[in-house]
Amino acid sequence: MSVNPYETAVTRYFEAWNAPSADARTKAVAAAWSEDGGYTDPLADVSGQEAIAAVVAGAREQFPGFTFRLAGTVDGHHGVARFGWELVSDADGSVPVTGSDVLTLAGDGRIDRVYGFLDRVPTGA
């Protein structure tokens, strides 16, 4: 059975977003993104692993006790993948934030760029 490079990249993406500590986050971002990779959504536009880790840390600080998870399936072709995600409360299972992302893969299979879209955001967030 062959490994799907898009599913692998998205799995690593969520490992970075859900890393439990700064050290784990740094390692997970390095495993997920190429050195000069980028992340863009309505709230951020950054390049480089350190800047990406800082964006992830900011989201984790804003939503402690929440887990990012895949919503649906990963669809990919020609080095591009799209997928939906949701931010789920560990305490009660509520889902205050949902979105969809498109990513491109670098030659080594890591993420080159992510373009994120926020589909549902709580008022005041």
Mean pLDDT for back-to-back runs of 10 residues, the chain (125 residues) = 85 97 98 98 97 97 96 97 98 97 97 97 74
Longest dimension (CA), the chain: 46
DSSP 8-state symbol, 62:
H
Single-letter amino acid, residue 86: E
Name the token pair of 98: 């949902």
pLDDT for residue 3: 74
Burial environment of residue 13 by CB neighbours within 10 A (0 to 12, 13 to 18, 19 or more): buried
pLDDT for residue 1: 45
pLDDT for residue 2: 52
| pTM score, whole prediction | 0.93
pLDDT for residue 125: 58
